[in-house]
Amino acid sequence: MKFNEKFLQLQHSGETKKLMEQFASYVDHLLAGKSTAISYQLAYDTVYKLTKDHKQTELLALLEQKITSFLQEKYAKLNAVDTASSLLKILQEALSIVTKMAEICLFLDVNYCQKDLNQPIRKRLGETIFKSICSEQKAL
């Protein structure tokens, strides 16, 4: 490989890394309840670019990991007194976040989740939430 080709490849991988970090930041804002702090168009464009770079698997894994971590943090704060009502609030919040994630990740959903995986992104993330609840002792 020529030096110029290698340089371009490194430059491209650096750009991809920045895009992944930017996407992770968008997701963190959603999880923190700061959805107004992000530009949905920029987030959508970031997902589009990463999908074009064949980063679908990484994007989906990041979403699943982030929602699982979010739920684990929320479960850790549950107390025994009002577990049912608190758990319901956590689930409603998680479903709201999943809806916003699906909006941002429309390109990923249509061109990867539905086509290649035969499973819409909301359903996949919903299953992530379900698995998280099933593994939480306080929820059982």
Q: How confident is the model at residue 10 (pLDDT cuts 50, 70, 90)?
A: very low
- pLDDT over threshold 80, residue 139: no
Could you report the per-residue pLDDT of 40-58, keeping only the tens digit for each?
888 889 999 999 888 999 9
**Domains of the chain: residue spans and CATH:** 19-134 (1.20.1310.10)
* Average pLDDT rounded to a whole number, residues 76-82: 77
Q: What tokens were used for 3?
A: 């030096």
How far is residue 116 from each of residues 16, 48, 56, 110, measured CA to CA in Å? 22, 16, 10, 9
Q: How confident is the model at residue 7 (pLDDT cuts 50, 70, 90)?
A: very low
Alpha-carbon gap, residue 33 to 27, rounded angstroms: 10
Query: 3-state secondary structure string, 26-77?
Result: HHHHHHCCCHHHCCHHHHHHHHHHHHHCCCHHHHHHHHHHHHHHHHHHHHHC
Q: How confident is the model at residue 137 (pLDDT cuts 50, 70, 90)?
A: confident
Cα–Cα nearest to 111, from 66, 53, 26: 53
